[in-house]
Amino acid sequence: TELGIDILRTAMFTGPAIYVNYSVYPLNRVEVRQAMAYAIDRQQNGFVSLGESGVPVELMTGMSDALADIWLSGDTIDSLNTYDKDLDMAASLLEGIGFSKGADGIWVDDQGNPLAFELTFPQEFADWSAAAENAIAQLNEFGFNITGRGVPFQQHVQDVYDANFQIAIRNWGLGEPIPGLSYLEPYDRYNGQGEAAGEAGGGMKFDPNVTYSGGTINVRDVALASGQGTDTEAQAVLVEQLAVSFNELLPTIPLWERFTNNALNRNYLDAPAFDDPIYINDTTLDAWMPYLIITGGIGPA
C-alpha cells in the first residue's frame, strides 16, 4: 500500500468444521454428509465469519490445502471432489437413498422422519458462531430443519467429548506440519479420547475402520503411523490414504481455514516478498516470524 503496510494472510492449518454424531440416523450416512457439503457455499461462510481471513477449504481432505500441495501428488489432487455448492447434486444424493421433500419444503428420510437436528457451537467464539449461523441458514434454505444453540465454550467441547450433541461446530485440522496430527482431531480427540484425563467419552462415535476407493483401512491407525519416522515418501503414501478416504467419506465437513492478518510495515522492515515459501508455514507452532528473526531473514529496511 501507499503506507508501505502489507497484510500478510497466512494459513493456520485449522478452522471450523461440521461434526455429526454417528449414532444419530441418518447423519451416519455418507450421502447425507455429502449433501450437506454441497448445500453450503463455503466462500460465503468464511467471509461472514472472518472476512478475507476466512478462506474456504477447497480440497476437502481433512488437512490444510497448503499441506495437500506438499504431501499429495498432482494426480491425487486433481481427483479430489471439491464439493462446490450444487443444490441439484445435494438433492440427487438424498433422493438416491429414498429421501423426499415434504410439502413444507423439509426433507424427510427413508424412515419418514424430517431432517430436523440441533447444531451446537461455542457461543463466545465470534467466528465459529457466525459460521454456525450461516451454515444453518444455508442448510435450512436447502430443506433441512436445523436449530442452532450456543453453549459456553468451556462446556461445548466436553459435550462433544461426551457425545452430547447431534451436530456441532468444532475444529478440523491442527497447526502442525505433520498431516497425521490433523487427522487425529476427528479420529482420536473428538472420537472418544479427548485431550486430558477425564475427557474421554463417546465422542462422535465414528467407526475408524472405513472402506473407500483405495480399500479398507483403520484411519486412526494410519494417522498415527503417518507421523512416525523420517521417511517422508513412506509417510506420503499413508497421507494419501487419509486424504482420499476423508474426501470420499467426509467424516466431518470442513468449512473454511483461519488465516492470519499480520500487518507488516515495509517502510521499517526488510522482509521476504509474500511469495517466499517461508510463509507456507503455519502461524501457530511453526510461525515464520521467529524463524526469520533467528536466521537473519528479517531486519531494518
Dihedral Cα 121, 125, 128, 132, nearest 10 deg: 40
Residue 15 pLDDT grade (very low, low, confident, very high; cuts 50, 70, 90): very high
* 275 occurs within a structural domain: no
* 278 occurs within a structural domain: no
- Cβ burial of 209 (10 Å; 0-12, 13-18, 19+) is exposed
Total domain count for the chain?
Answer: 1
For residue 206, the number of C-alpha atoms closer than 13 Å in the C-beta half-sphere is: 31
User: Computed over its alpha carbons, how large is the radius of gyration of the chain?
Assistant: 20
| pLDDT top residue among 198 and 166 | 166
For residue 284, what pLDDT is reported?
75
* 88 occurs within a structural domain: yes
Residue 75 pLDDT grade (very low, low, confident, very high; cuts 50, 70, 90): very high
- Cβ burial of 260 (10 Å; 0-12, 13-18, 19+) is middle
For residue 115, what pLDDT is reported?
99
Q: In this structure, which amino acid lies at residue 170? A: R
Task: Provide the pairing of β-strand 100-101 with 14-20.
Answer: unpaired
User: What's the mean pLDDT in 2-31?
Assistant: 94
Angle at 184 between CA 209 and CA 241, to 5 degrees: 55
**pLDDT above 90 for 198:** no
Q: What is the mean pLDDT of the chain?
A: 96
* 281 occurs within a structural domain: no
**CATH, residue 11:** 3.10.105.10
- Report the distance separating Cα 219 and Cα 181, nearest Å: 12
**pLDDT above 90 for 286:** no
Beta strands (DSSP E) in 155-275 are 167-173, 209-212, 215-218, 253-254, 256-258, 262-265, 269-270
For residue 2, what pLDDT is reported?
65
For residue 1, what pLDDT is reported?
53
**Which residue matches cell numbers 485449522?**
14
Angle at 145 between CA 139 and CA 149, to 5 degrees: 90
Residue 287 pLDDT grade (very low, low, confident, very high; cuts 50, 70, 90): confident
Residue 173 pLDDT grade (very low, low, confident, very high; cuts 50, 70, 90): very high
For residue 197, what pLDDT is reported?
87
User: What's the mean pLDDT in 82-88?
Assistant: 99
The segment with the largest mean pLDDT, out of 4-8, 34-38, 258-262, is: 34-38
- Sorted by sequence, the CB contacts under 8 Å of residue 183 that are 6+ apart come out as 62, 63, 219, 222, 223, 226, 242, 246
Hey, which residues does 120 pair with through a beta bridge? 149, 168
For residue 191, what pLDDT is reported?
98
* 189 occurs within a structural domain: yes
**pLDDT above 90 for 82:** yes
- Report the distance separating Cα 91 and Cα 61, nearest Å: 23
DSSP structural state of residue 57: P
For residue 241, what pLDDT is reported?
99
**Which residue matches cell numbers 476407493?**
213
- Cell reading at 298: 528479517
**pLDDT above 60 for 88:** yes
User: What's the mean pLDDT in 5-11?
Assistant: 91
Whole-number percent of the chain with pLDDT over 70:
99
* 287 occurs within a structural domain: no
Contact 164, 174 (CB under 8 A): no
Whole-number percent of the chain with pLDDT over 90:
89
* 285 occurs within a structural domain: no
Angle between helices 87-96 and 30-39 (to 10 degrees): 160
The segment with the largest mean pLDDT, out of 69-73, 146-150, 265-269, is: 146-150
User: What's the mean pLDDT in 265-286?
Assistant: 88
**pLDDT above 70 for 274:** yes
* 87 occurs within a structural domain: yes
**Which residue matches cell numbers 427413508?**
110
Confidence (pTM) = 0.96
The dihedral of CA 236, 256, 272, 290: what is its sign?
negative
Domain that holds residue 181: 5-268
